[in-house]
Structure 1
């Protein structure tokens, strides 16, 4: 017979909805749809999701702890899933954890990496994106992720152990920035970043070379290692920056070793 905590969890979850895998869509079509949204003139609106991508919330409860509604949303990356705890996550900016070592300063990220099959964690303003390994199944990972998120918010722990840790303000405009760099940062912050965050990731400004006209960016969260990320960069982000900032001649994605391997494996399997 299982423990009382497990029994209460099962009672709280009934009736249990069958897990449905996110629909498999063409990577190119998905990336192009993001590109069209980036080039749209209408302002972006957060948290407007279709019912097919934003299923009803799960009510998760254990023991005497307060219940918690957690919503999930699919991303263009089939290995990544967004979890909405109905509470603020990051007050400012975002935080990316590409491996367990980088998560040592965050109790929530550390507990998520303790789940077998979790390979990457990302914090957004009101969501947590979890990326899994190819051999792991969401059917088994989702309950463990729900438990880890609920335990964290019930514990009262800070999101970061180091109070000095803060989100990287990569798009903050400084006094020594040129007019070109200031325009690039403004576009990234106001037009591009919101669209990328809607898909469970983020984009970080890494520099601009005035001699070549190349803007260096880094994809994070669900967008990192996604097979369609390169199409998104070229068809959406690059076109927008080149249109509004004539000095920009192209966009390059900056990859670390882990991202490079994930992107290569995704291109080989597509």
Structure 2
């Protein structure tokens, strides 16, 4: 993440970003306002050859894997859409009760966290887990899910909300922060098997609160990405931003990573 995500964010920071001159809460999207970036456009990471999984009379399925900056996390590409909108993070088995796929992955001994992206699933293992033993079980769980035709979520209302959606009551500053997170920062973070969740902005202190998800949660270089990548880009384009802090939920273990400027 230190060498890949931060460099991609720095590369994107050179692309001009037009600040709104009026107190509008909508920032235009499209080729003229926001350049499009493709997965792995700036990443040196490569996916492993597809793994063909087939049992009995089930349909064959090609599943690709890709390493992440976090050695305990691995990305699995089923070749099919995963999340239609946004992403979903499952930090523990209890949080996965509403998702058949996440629940089945947690049933594998050694799996400690699951994350859904647009077209991939990131699985995080325990320190003593070995990928050579875990991968066949993960492949089987993903294959079983897609062959069962079950919904990704039992309760459709539980699907992840779009945290960066711009609302009418958002200030110009908040709208700009959300637009940057969605169009420039989130794609780079998702390339490494994780995501970020916008948690709020304090106009008095200038602090943006974010939550790191997926492979980025617990990654040794998360603090570097938070400060050298995300914070620098937000402060560059939005002068009102003075720093970035990561916010942890009660179920998240680990030390709070802070990128606040003193």
Deviations 1:167-186 (A, max 9, x none): 22111111111100000001
- Which of the numbers 196, 202, 226 marks the counterpart of 1:203? 196
Report the 3-state secondary structure (helix = DSSP H, G, I; strand = E; otherwise coil) of the residue aligned with 2:122.
strand
Match of 1:138 in 2: 131
For 2:57 and 2:41, how far apart are their aligned partners in 1?
A: 33
For 1:221 and 1:196, how far apart are their aligned partners in 2?
A: 10
Match of 2:153 in 1: 160
For 1:153 and 1:33, how far apart are their aligned partners in 2?
A: 35
The answer on whether the counterparts of 1:38 and 1:195 sit within 8 Å (CA) in structure 2 is no
- Scaled by the length of structure 1, the TM-score of the pair is 0.83
Deviations 1:199-220 (A, max 9, x none): 1011000000000000000000
For 2:107 and 2:116, how far apart are their aligned partners in 1?
A: 16
- Which of the numbers 90, 93, 102 marks the counterpart of 1:100? 93
For 1:31 and 1:223, how far apart are their aligned partners in 2?
A: 10
Shift of 1:139: 0.5
Shift of 1:28: 4.3
Alpha-carbon RMSD: 2.0
**Is 2:10 the counterpart of 1:36?**
yes
- Which of the numbers 41, 60, 75 marks the counterpart of 1:82? 75
Match of 1:22 in 2: none
Match of 2:141 in 1: 148
- Scaled by the length of structure 2, the TM-score of the pair is 0.85
Are residues 64 and 160 of structure 1, via their aligned partners in 2, closer, same or farther at CA, if it must alter by over 3 Å?
same
**Bigger relative contact order (CA 8 A; separation at least 6):** 2
For 1:61 and 1:50, how far apart are their aligned partners in 2?
A: 31
Larger helix share, 1 or 2: 1
Deviations 1:66-95 (A, max 9, x none): 000000000010000000000000011000
Which residues of structure 1 form unaligned runs of 5+? Answer: 1-26, 265-270
Shift of 1:43: 4.3
**Is 2:224 the counterpart of 1:250?**
no
**Is 2:110 the counterpart of 1:117?**
yes
For 1:192 and 1:50, how far apart are their aligned partners in 2?
A: 14
Match of 1:129 in 2: 122
For 2:5 and 2:58, how far apart are their aligned partners in 1?
A: 41
Are residues 214 and 52 of structure 1, via their aligned partners in 2, closer, same or farther at CA, if it must alter by over 3 Å?
closer
**Is 2:192 the counterpart of 1:218?**
no
Report the 3-state secondary structure (helix = DSSP H, G, I; strand = E; otherwise coil) of the residue aligned with 1:115.
coil
- Which of the numbers 225, 228, 232 marks the counterpart of 1:235? 228
The answer on whether the counterparts of 1:37 and 1:195 sit within 8 Å (CA) in structure 2 is no
Which residues of structure 2 form unaligned runs of 5+? Answer: 16-34, 258-262
Q: How many pairs were matched up?
A: 238
**Is 2:55 the counterpart of 1:62?**
yes
The answer on whether the counterparts of 1:117 and 1:136 sit within 8 Å (CA) in structure 2 is yes
Shift of 1:165: 1.9
